[in-house]
Structure 1
Amino acid sequence: MTLSPSRGGLVRPLFVLTILSSAFLLFLVQPMVARMALPRLGGAPAVWNSAMLVYQALLLGGYAYAHWLGRLEPRLQGRVHLGVLLLAALWLPIGLGAMQPGPKALPALWVPWLLVLSIGPLFFAVSAQSPLLQRWFSLSRRGQDPYALYAASNLGSFVGLLAYPLLVEPTMALVGQRLLWSSGYILVGLLVALCAATLPRDRPLQAASPVTSPPPGRRRVAHWILLAFVPSGLMLATSTYITTDIVAMPLLWVIPLGLYLLSFTIAFAQDRTAADIQTRIAPIAILLFGGILVGGMPGLPYLGAIMALALLFLVSVSLHTGLYRLRPAPDRLTGFYLAMAFGGALGGVFSALVAPLLFDWTYEYPILILAAGVLTPHAYLLAPLRWLWATDPARRRILVLAVAAIMIVAVFIMLGNAGTTDSPSSLQQVVLLVIVAVGVLTIGTPVAFGIALFGALVAFGGYQAIAISLEPLARTRSYFGVYTVHGSATERQLAHGTTVHGTQLRGSPARERTPTAYYVPGSGVGQAMQALPTLYGPGARVGVVGLGTGTLACYARPGQHWQFYEIDPAIVRIARDTGQFSFLSRCLPDPTIVLGDARLSLAGAKEASLDLLALDAFSSDSVPMHLLTREAFASYARVLSPRGVLLVHISNRFLDLEPVVAAAAKAGGWQAVTLFYMPSKPVRDAATMSQWIALSRDPATIRLLQARGRGWLPARGRSGFVPWTDGYSTILPLVKGL
């Protein structure tokens, strides 16, 4: 079948719809499969990093397949790809395989194997369609630019990305999501068949897909890869930087990825006005925003987040515009997209896997900002400078040396005047203005601008990050985040980005054994811990999910058995091995610590082996949703004794988690009471506001806890709120202020 000439006007809308729909499915499946995997695989970082690598590898494989397929005769390309789509359809409806990991299985190896076997063929087939269909369009409609269709592809990706957390996840259980995606796959397959019908039939086999343009050189391909590498890496680095050093708001990861996808839509659009304007202002934004953001904005977190997102968008549009300007002829299209996919994959690997191993802070963020400043297309801001420097290599060398000398002097002045006050001195303010002026004047000369930008990144606050890194044990980084230990002669704190994870008083052994922060005696967990001898006698069995600095260990009494569940080995080292905190060494010198995801660890624990289980995994404003489902609470009920108590810490700056726990309690037959603790004035023992919910299947135990303590009230549910399950959960109704 071939579309008739009279219907030729329908060809472009058909290709746009097909490419948009394919991209929509591709970005809908990623968070969907992650939700499917969460209860089974837990929240270990190896799970998410391995899944990301699988997605990137399959995407790269799909682009390579599309590049190879372009060598075949057009009609044969259509038949082969439709055959691949039909073969992949054997994996419908989409879902994870039934196999389970063994007790000694390595997630870094087992998770990719599970994902490849479960969704690999489907993801591979759909991922190939953006470059492949653009190639088909260039064959079907000669003389029309196929690159504009890439804008439709990324628009579909953007819509799919937003549709999952905003529409699909809140309204559908996983069963319905699987059917929705599978139906979409069938529809896309039919659209691809219609696109294949537009391919020319009257061309000889050997001349079906002629490649007549000269091949790109190695430098050009390397340039493509770099231009794709930096925005991809910066997108992930921005997410890490914002949630680590600015604000750990739920769903914030969606915004950087969405802006990254939108940048392609602008950069590859037929109307070049928006792309050209943003490319021209990008160097100024990189110079100003980059320096300020690296210095941090602790007093204005939301403004800092907005600036970081704006910078990411401008950089992405600028560098992707550079890609568009360097695009080859349509007959080299698939190779171009293959290089882009390779660069994007490298950027993701650098920011998600390599950077946490190499750096103790989010140094990948300023490194990528610096790379963006050098790579972004430059235009001279002032015409006289173009005349002065553009045509004379000797003058450009003098400019580079002069800028380097100015930046060295400026940085030394900033370091020498790094005083005790938070605000910069008058001399420092003058130096910062000089750096900005030099940076603006060098726009148009990438090397000189890069040197000026490096000076700005260091002088505006980068030196402070370097100074902390030089302090022994002051900062530790793992796949879960950046941990900083700081304090004074009277107290020491552990912070995860902007969130305090523990505080210890200093000065005497008694002060060091004092529970602080969310765990003071008046808090919900403090009252429950003090009630242990009354509730369960001298041999109470206690489990704690989330070690932190080990503060809760100071409630332990002789004869009790305590066990901690901690997912991050870095936290264990800080709390137990480095000597920075002494809660464990002074109160529980030989603790039992189980490493790994708590839900998976508890699934293997003995029945009725605990009297009290405290869940303290939510204080960083990032919610491990698989720990709050009905299935998770059923696991807790199995591990707890019939009179056991479950304590859930729900303090959160952005989410109201009380309806989640209350709904799970009602569904599971638990009695639930909550205690909102507000420290008195003046604050003693570094007390922090906190909210804990206590649950038990024995009403008498809850009544006894209420009688011994004070402030316990029935947990408040929410009318119409559906309990979370492994197949359904959403945080949108819980966002405070909505």
Structure 2
Amino acid sequence: MTASPHRWLFVLTILVGSFLLFLVQPMVARMVLPRLGGAPMVWNSAMLVYQALLLGGYAYAHWLGRFAVRRQAAIHIALLLVASLWLPIGIAQIAPPAPGQEVLWVPLLLTASIGPVFFVVAAQAPLMQRWFALDSRSGDPYILYAASNLGSFAGLISYPALVEPAMPLDAQSLGWAAGYALLFLLVAGSAAARWRGAAATFHGVEAPREPRPALRRQIHWLLIAAVPSGLMLSTTTHLTTDIVAMPLLWVLPLGLYLLSFVIAFSTLDGVKQIFATIAPALLLITGGQALLSTGGGTMLLALMSLVMLFVVATALHGYLHHLRPAPEHLTLFYLVMSAGGVLGGAFAALAAPLLFNWVYEHPVLVLAAAALLPLPALLPWDHWLKIARPTPYVAALLLLAVFASWQLASAWDGTLGGMSWVWAGLLLAIGLLVIAWRWAYIPVLILLMLGIGGLDTLEKGRHGMRVRSYFGVYTVTDDRVHQQRRLAHGTTLHGLQRTDPEHRLEPTTYYGPQSGVGLALGAAARLAGPNASVGIVGLGAGTLSCYRRAGQRWTIFEIDPVMVSIARDPAKFTFLSRCAGDTPIIIGDARLEIAKQPSGRFDILVIDAFSSDAIPLHLLTKEAIGIYARALKPDGILVIHISNRFFDLEPVLATEAKARGWAAAIRMDPAGHDDSYSALTASNWVALTARKERMDQLTGGLRPRDEAQEDGAWVPLEGRAHFDRWTDDYASTLPVLLWKHLIGGRE
């Protein structure tokens, strides 16, 4: 008697396995946060590790296919048992990296922590599809890949929405282990459903329906798979660097990337055709802005970038599905696809930061997508006009595009205003007309990129004024009209020095004399004597060094060696060289480095470690504050910068202060809020101390909130009822997310 296909069992097994696979990714990222921080490139490095392990799992599933199904099942179940020795999931104890070695250390840490478990779970999707296809009544096994990615998407989204807010890390790890046990039972059940089937293996049962795909075809698969993978990571970097630096955007590109597989490998042929038709046009509209580095933090550009990623990835993955082989070559197909994912990820996460001083991998991958996409004519004007040989007309349109691009570049003022819109619209219209001719379509796309901000972006990268490191892209620009030199990390200002000789050493931006940190450091001698010991976390352009006075002992903590080289270069900024050139700078993660300091060392400790607008969550937990408290003297003052466009961090510190019985106050300095060219910037600084009398000495007494605009006014920190204290084991950013700012973009 022939066994039933057991379709539901295979679908459930694939859903559970894929759900666990993508649930563990953000969970482990959360676990390693105290050791890695939250820079975008950390996420990209983690994604590369996951892709490499996925490739290993797919290679293992392909290798396993040479055996009869009984032996496949025995090997795989045994491997699942061995991998269970890594449960419950925890972080491997590996020595921290030397400065500059993070790019290698992050993959090593993640591989040692979850490598075996991730590897064996990654293999279940292609393996289950192969077992599923062993029964001739089961139908097309590729449909299960849509189910696999649906499970992956559910796992990814459920973590920030459901798991993280509801469970501490220990409970999350135990819950994942329970899910792994369920997966083990489902895999065993799937194996039992097939090993009595008529077909024990593909070999020797029937002649293959098609020969092994040629190498050229496999390379085609590889490239088509590589571009969406790289584009997913480059979109993440592009958004968090130059459009809007918001951490939640790190998850969205991956989620859309997974959803693109769900559609592409489904039976919705009409929907897939719609994506294939609009993808080239959308690539012109949004990809034409891929070289734009003056996005100004607008959510519109962020949304457009995400839509482009989703549509283009769906079109490319739909094309990949169209090129799929017969089921007997299924595991080879997925192996090559996975290798393409690793190739695209390696280019975006490893090669690009070494090769480029900006996120140039993004426009490169946009062009690669243009070279690989099917290009159905959006506007078949040659057929409408009954033109038998349209090539001369297309060439004329291309020449017109060159002229329009030159005019656009000449009129570019950074805002796309006036005539610039006319030329950009003309260039776009030409691009839409020549979509069906790849030799014309790609040049028009390049011209759009150069015309819409590209030349400006390329110019900023000259003369060493832009530097890229593992932690981000730093750009130094001169504003000769307002006599300012600015240091930007993506769209976030990290330092400003006035270039007129009379004021060049005045504290600027968030660090003005009436800011919370300015008031605290200005009072250091009065509070702690002439030999006050001060610790500064986060160097920036070195602006805070202006507050150092003779006799004071300062120590600066900075994670990025590139930032140190910028601040120490008097050709760029002179704050540090003129005010505190002999100040020791400790390179490394501040939390780890402060933990190494002697107890009771600092009178004042300043935490100013934001990476763009990303929350340094690992620097704000109970355990982190405990490290600072140990490094402070009993009456020391902790000063923390919480200015942020997207998160209200007051409740976090208010809850922490209440739990410790500390005095806490906030200084909300409105300086320069309405003037983008002002040397001073609005800022929020929180002061915490274990002794109330010390707080009174600093603030002179707290004022009511309605007097917060008064110069030098400190006001009480506001908490929230039932707000959960952040710890290394439990912290959720959703309760402090400013949704109205998220929708409206930068204020």
Indicate the TM-score class for this superposition, using the shorter chain for normalisation. Answer: over 0.9
1:143 Cα offset (Å): 6.0
Could you state the TM-score of these two structures normalised by the residue count of structure 1?
Answer: 0.93
Distance of aligned partners of 1:458 and 1:230 in 2 relative to their CA distance in 1, 3 Å threshold: same
Which of these residues, 697, 716, 730, is aligned with residue 690 of structure 2?
A: 697
Does 2:65 align with 1:70?
A: yes
Equivalent position of 1:725 in the other structure: 727
Deviations 1:57-111 (A, max 9, x none): 2111000000011111122212221111112112222222345558899555554
Equivalent position of 2:492 in the other structure: 499
Deviations 1:340-380 (A, max 9, x none): 10111111111122112211222111111111122111213
Q: Give the partner amino acid of 1:562.
A: W
How far apart are the structure 1 equivalents of 2:327 and 2:381?
38
Residues 386 and 444, structure 1, Cα contact 8 Å, conserved in 2: no
Equivalent position of 2:664 in the other structure: 672
Distance of aligned partners of 1:736 and 1:434 in 2 relative to their CA distance in 1, 3 Å threshold: closer
Residues 525 and 692, structure 1, Cα contact 8 Å, conserved in 2: yes
Which of these residues, 142, 151, 173, is aligned with residue 168 of structure 2?
A: 173
Residues 670 and 683, structure 2, Cα contact 8 Å, conserved in 1: yes
Equivalent position of 2:474 in the other structure: 483
Greater alpha carbon shift after TM alignment, 382-391 vs 478-487: 382-391
Does 2:113 align with 1:118?
A: yes
Greater alpha carbon shift after TM alignment, 715-724 vs 91-100: 91-100
1:644 Cα offset (Å): 0.8
* 1:141-290 pair list within 5 angstroms: 141-142=136-137, 144-201=139-196, 202-203=198-199, 207=204, 211-290=208-287
Deviations 1:367-409 (A, max 9, x none): 11111122111213344636999998xx75x677656544444
Equivalent position of 1:474 in the other structure: 465
How far apart are the structure 2 equivalents of 1:46 and 1:409?
39
Does 2:321 align with 1:324?
A: yes
Greater alpha carbon shift after TM alignment, 590-599 vs 178-187: 590-599
How far apart are the structure 2 equivalents of 1:424 and 1:710?
41
Deviations 1:650-669 (A, max 9, x none): 01111010111122222234
1:411 Cα offset (Å): 3.5
Residues 97 and 105, structure 2, Cα contact 8 Å, conserved in 1: no
Greater alpha carbon shift after TM alignment, 702-711 vs 336-345: 702-711
Deviations 1:619-656 (A, max 9, x none): 72101111011111111011111111100000111101
* 1:438-449 pair list within 5 angstroms: 438-449=430-441
Does 2:52 align with 1:79?
A: no
Greater alpha carbon shift after TM alignment, 326-335 vs 681-690: 681-690
How far apart are the structure 2 equivalents of 1:45 and 1:434?
36
Does 2:542 align with 1:553?
A: no
Residues 245 and 297, structure 2, Cα contact 8 Å, conserved in 1: no
The alignment of Structure 1 onto Structure 2 pairs a total of residues equal to 726
SS of structure 2 residue aligned to 1:612: strand
Distance of aligned partners of 1:478 and 1:209 in 2 relative to their CA distance in 1, 3 Å threshold: farther
SS of structure 1 residue aligned to 2:506: coil
Q: Give the partner amino acid of 1:486.
A: T
Hey, which bits of structure 1, 4+ residues long, moved more than 6 A? 102-105, 386-392, 680-685
How far apart are the structure 1 equivalents of 2:681 and 2:594?
29
SS of structure 1 residue aligned to 2:455: helix
Equivalent position of 2:4 in the other structure: 8
1:44 Cα offset (Å): 7.3
How far apart are the structure 2 equivalents of 1:231 and 1:696?
50
Deviations 1:154-198 (A, max 9, x none): 111111111111111111101100011000000011111111122
Distance of aligned partners of 1:409 and 1:95 in 2 relative to their CA distance in 1, 3 Å threshold: same
Residues 244 and 299, structure 2, Cα contact 8 Å, conserved in 1: yes
Residues 42 and 600, structure 1, Cα contact 8 Å, conserved in 2: no
Q: Give the partner amino acid of 2:163.
A: V
SS of structure 1 residue aligned to 2:487: strand
Residues 80 and 184, structure 2, Cα contact 8 Å, conserved in 1: yes
Equivalent position of 1:25 in the other structure: 20
Equivalent position of 1:312 in the other structure: 309
Residues 651 and 691, structure 1, Cα contact 8 Å, conserved in 2: yes
* Gap runs ≥5 in structure 1: none
Q: Give the partner amino acid of 1:87.
A: V
Distance of aligned partners of 1:165 and 1:699 in 2 relative to their CA distance in 1, 3 Å threshold: same
SS of structure 1 residue aligned to 2:249: coil
1:296 Cα offset (Å): 5.8
1:591 Cα offset (Å): 2.3
How far apart are the structure 2 equivalents of 1:682 and 1:213?
68
Does 2:365 align with 1:358?
A: no
Which of these residues, 405, 412, 416, is aligned with residue 406 of structure 2?
A: 412
Residues 260 and 312, structure 1, Cα contact 8 Å, conserved in 2: yes
How far apart are the structure 1 equivalents of 2:546 and 2:725?
34
CA RMSD between the two structures = 2.7
Equivalent position of 1:614 in the other structure: 606
Q: Give the partner amino acid of 2:129.
A: Q
Greater alpha carbon shift after TM alignment, 73-82 vs 720-729: 73-82
Which of these residues, 521, 525, 546, is aligned with residue 529 of structure 1?
A: 521
Residues 138 and 145, structure 1, Cα contact 8 Å, conserved in 2: yes
Could you state the TM-score of these two structures normalised by the residue count of structure 2?
Answer: 0.92
1:55 Cα offset (Å): 1.9
1:589 Cα offset (Å): 2.0
Greater alpha carbon shift after TM alignment, 140-149 vs 301-310: 140-149
Greater alpha carbon shift after TM alignment, 572-581 vs 433-442: 433-442
Q: Give the partner amino acid of 1:316.
A: A
Which of these residues, 618, 623, 626, is aligned with residue 626 of structure 1?
A: 618
SS of structure 1 residue aligned to 2:496: strand
Q: Give the partner amino acid of 1:714.
A: P
Residues 630 and 667, structure 1, Cα contact 8 Å, conserved in 2: no
Q: Give the partner amino acid of 1:126.
A: V
SS of structure 2 residue aligned to 1:65: helix
Residues 610 and 639, structure 1, Cα contact 8 Å, conserved in 2: yes
